[in-house]
Structure 1
């Protein structure tokens, strides 16, 4: 995973985990890698992964089963979508709208390109 400088690393890792849940790579009630395992895999400090896991627990996306480890919750998909949707609508969409306006991109062109993206990547 490559990190960028515009967001905290623990948030980027949380988004990475959320994406895996939305894509079905990590399913409900599936065990997550330990803090150390994920830290080694992503080449980050274990404290960073711990911070990520804390955030995801607060959002009810993952849960700790004492003595066993961390697991994806049953309702994780709904919680991930709510969490990611709020971030998108509050932070990313205004910038996207700004670019659409400045570049004079029509809604029809957006619709056509969006449909092409869906057809190419998800069908």
Structure 2
């Protein structure tokens, strides 16, 4: 299943378009914060909470943005091999596997200017 996680829109035109989209496709999860770059953490957590509440038996969840390309065949190969082995090591009470994977870019540096800056 594909779900689009959105924050609240500021203008009425966008709000109306979101309502139309939701009625047509039933694929939008809208959380209470304004949809902005600064609120991406809230957006991700809202999506994970929804998955936990409504898809507790989903074997895998992929969070993908519009600026990310995914090869579904490679992803499936990775999930069925490496993650299957590792998920048994990290379990919640009752043996329920929970594992979050990401990629650490150790060579990365903070962005001090531009679109991606988040100040205090």
TM-score w.r.t. length of structure 2:
0.30
Higher relative contact order (CA 8 A, sep 6+): 1
TM-score w.r.t. length of structure 1:
0.29
More helix by share: 1
